[in-house]
Amino acid sequence: ISAIAPKIGCTPETLRLWVRQSERNSGQLDGLSTVE
């Protein structure tokens, strides 16, 4: 994540949050999806 984030113009923490939200949306991680 730390290596990829600067390449797409965001901070590692932002990218980490996006990945975790994507995992929630796909059911891989417990929690509220974007739609909910």
| Structural domain spans, the chain | 1-27
Q: Which pLDDT score is estimated for 35?
A: 82
Query: What global pTM score does this model have?
Result: 0.79
Contact between 3 and 12 under an 8 Å Cβ cutoff? The reply is: no
Q: Which amino acid is at 29?
A: L
The Cα 33–Cα 12 span in angstroms is 21
In this predicted model, what pLDDT tens digit does every residue of 1-36 receive, in sequence order? 999 999 999 999 999 999 999 999 999 989 888 887
